[in-house]
A = this chain, B = another copy of it.
Amino acid sequence: MLTFTVEKTDSLARLGTLVLPHGTVSTPCFMPVGTQGSVKTLTPAEVMGTGAEMIVCNTYHLYLRPGHGRVQAAGGLSKFIGWDRPILTDSGGFQVYSLAALTRVTDRGAEFQSHVDGSRHLFTPELVVEIQEALGPDIAMCLDECPPYPISRPVAEAAAARTSLWAERCCRTRKPETNLFGIVQGATYADLREESARALVALDLPGYAIGGLCLGEASNVTYEMVGRVTPLLPAERPRYLMGAGYPEDIVASVRLGIDMFDCVLPTRNGRTGTAFTASGRVAIRNSKHADESGSLDAACDCYTCRTFSRAYLRHLFVVGEALGPKLLTLHNISFFQRLMQGIRAAIGRGEFESWTSRFLSRYRTGADPAEKEKDR
């Protein structure tokens, strides 16, 4: 149900092809986030138009609303949401920790109160696999324990150990056709990360994710952890860095051998008025754009950039029109897809390092000063 082929490598960077039940995905790939079964503000047709081949939905959210049984009865998640391409469902471990009121975590599972109505639920590794199998994604994720950053070593150690224990149980309960990925935890402790990776690899899963990073730690720490884990993961399996991220983080992680990415950045920042462009981030509300007849990103051929001026986009945000967030989201996801296309082409040519230098040099120099300050 999953075939992954590394077509070419350039140092540690990999150009790959991931074949899944709903289609084929070229890697390294960036998966837009459609938490509740919708990539916010966009139609599935618009998401496809950006070149995105796979999206991420969320088990925690879809379990609460509309309910996995309802989605299953509707013919599965792809059919229900009108996205006829691969979907990965995150397990909900992260949301249980970040969004719900977590009441208790034991080896049995995570007890939480719904952020919607306060109702009490228990996510066990078995239930989370069952929910995902009802949703019917192309890739499902093991339940993990994902504590916030920073945490002490004992807490990190316990969370990583429990994540490994839960992965074993997810593995035992899954149906043979379920493409279940494990999630490496261990916070910012390199030896815990390595131990976590080894435990998961022993389960011989079809793919491996690195979770619990990009939570506020310094970039060099993120990269160090990724660099410690990837060599331990089997070369012939896809590697997924969860929650990354910024274009700088993506190129740095591809360089360390990561194949798959997801992040809310292009959608969330698009909604709040920040655009990613070839020459850096642009805060579209800035008054300097009020009379700018030029497009958002001269290097972009998305509908937003082909059709509208910065002045009009700014106007939409200033007056609070819903079209503004939608047009910037569309552009941002197009930008991330073009970034991945550039990365893949560069690896294919064996020029990943030089391409990255050129990309970053342009991306870093042109940004709005106010936006630069936000860079990590």
Q: Interface on A for B, CB 8 Å cutoff?
A: 36-38, 40-45, 61, 65-66, 70, 73-75, 80-82, 290-291, 293, 303, 307-309, 311-312, 314-316, 318-319, 321-323, 325-327
- Tell me the smallest distance from the CB of A164 to a CB of chain B, in Å: 33
Assess the B323–A41 pair: CB atoms within 8 A: yes
Partner of A38, one of B40, B81, B321: B321
Assess the A322–B323 pair: CB atoms within 8 A: no
Q: Measured between alpha carbons, how far is A215 from B262 in the docked complex, in Å?
A: 49
Known pairs A66-B290, A291-B70, A319-B65; A82 contacts B41 (CB<8 A): no
What are the residues of chain B within 8 A of A66 when measuring CB–CB?
290, 311, 314-315, 318
Q: Measured between alpha carbons, how far is A65 from B290 in the docked complex, in Å?
A: 11
Q: Measured between alpha carbons, how far is A94 from B340 in the docked complex, in Å?
A: 50
Q: Which 6 A-B pairs have the closest CB atoms?
A: A38-B321, A38-B323, A66-B315, A41-B322, A82-B307, A36-B319
Assess the A41–B312 pair: CB atoms within 8 A: no
Q: Measured between alpha carbons, how far is A108 from B221 in the docked complex, in Å?
A: 69
What are the residues of chain B within 8 A of A80 when measuring CB–CB?
309, 311-312
Please name 13 pairs of A and B residues whose Cβ atoms are closer than 8 Å in the assembled complex, sorted by A: A36-B315, A36-B319, A37-B316, A38-B321, A41-B326, A43-B303, A43-B327, A66-B311, A74-B293, A74-B312, A80-B309, A82-B308, A82-B312
Known pairs A312-B37, A312-B81; A45 contacts B303 (CB<8 A): yes
Q: Measured between alpha carbons, how far is A327 from B307 in the docked complex, in Å?
A: 21
- Tell me the smallest distance from the CB of A236 to a CB of chain B, in Å: 37
- Tell me the smallest distance from the CB of A115 to a CB of chain B, in Å: 11
What are the residues of chain B within 8 A of A303 when measuring CB–CB?
43, 45
What are the residues of chain B within 8 A of A322 when measuring CB–CB?
38, 40-41, 322, 325-326
What are the residues of chain B within 8 A of A42 when measuring CB–CB?
323
- Tell me the smallest distance from the CB of A136 to a CB of chain B, in Å: 15
Q: Measured between alpha carbons, how far is A81 from B311 in the docked complex, in Å?
A: 10
What are the residues of chain B within 8 A of A82 when measuring CB–CB?
307-308, 312
What are the residues of chain B within 8 A of A37 when measuring CB–CB?
312, 315-316, 321
- Given contacts A42-B323, A45-B303, A322-B322, list 11 more A-B pairs with CB under 8 A: A38-B322, A40-B321, A40-B322, A43-B303, A65-B319, A66-B311, A70-B291, A74-B293, A75-B293, A80-B311, A326-B326
Partner of A319, one of B43, B45, B61, B307: B61
- Tell me the smallest distance from the CB of A68 to a CB of chain B, in Å: 12
Residue of B nearest to A79 (CB): B309
What are the residues of chain B within 8 A of A314 when measuring CB–CB?
66
What are the residues of chain B within 8 A of A327 when measuring CB–CB?
43
What are the residues of chain B within 8 A of A74 when measuring CB–CB?
291, 293, 309, 311-312
Assess the A291–B65 pair: CB atoms within 8 A: no
Residue of B nearest to A323 (CB): B38
What are the residues of chain B within 8 A of A73 when measuring CB–CB?
291
What are the residues of chain B within 8 A of A291 when measuring CB–CB?
70, 73-74
- Tell me the smallest distance from the CB of A100 to a CB of chain B, in Å: 15
Partner of A43, one of B290, B318, B323: B323
Kindly name the residue among A38, A42, A308, A318 whose own CB sees the greatest number of chain B CB atoms within 10 A: A38
What are the residues of chain B within 8 A of A319 when measuring CB–CB?
36, 61, 65
Residue of B nearest to A37 (CB): B315
